[in-house]
A = this chain, B = another copy of it.
Amino acid sequence: MEDLKQFFKKDNFAANSGIELLEASPGYAKARMDIEEKHLNALKAVQGGALFTLADLAFAAASNAYGNAAVGINANISFVKAATKGILTAEAKENSINPKIATYTVNITDDEGDLVAIFQGMAYRKKFPLDFSDV
């Protein structure tokens, strides 16, 4: 788990977006993002891309936590409540896993426990292991 958290610190885009990986184990992960000015769109709500990135990091951690590289091939996201302030939490849970394909649902909730977005991700599982040598 510590290795994995270190590994995902090398995700520059998530790091620059202020996203922190809280937990990760095979098939499960949790991440958080404290809403700042930099996350907002022109309508003053958290940009869809920021929400997607938060969900995507949780998805990546859950699917890569088996130790081999897994890459996202498809994702579907529904935006159900505008988020404007506070802390957002993304929780990824595995729905299914096969040798090649695995699927995950990620729920993003706000401070009040309300659902902000729901994300379905599909990962393609590669044969090569993650490289933890420099983490």
Contacts and interface: CB of A to CB of B under 8 A. Distances in A.
Interface of A: 7-14, 16-17, 37-43, 45-50, 52-54, 56-57, 60, 69, 71-82, 95-96, 98, 100-101, 103, 105, 115, 118, 120, 122, 124
B73 A101 contact: yes
Contact of A39 (B13, B46, B75): B13
| A16, A54, A72, A78, most chain B CB atoms within 10 A | A78
B78 A47 contact: no
Contact of A122 (B60, B78, B96): B78
* Residue picked from A7, A9, A11, A96, most chain B C-beta under 10 Å: A96
A72 B38 CA distance: 19
Contacts of A98: 80
B120 A100 contact: no
Contacts of A11: 40-42, 47
Given A49-B52, A56-B49, A120 B122 contact: no
A72 B68 CA distance: 24
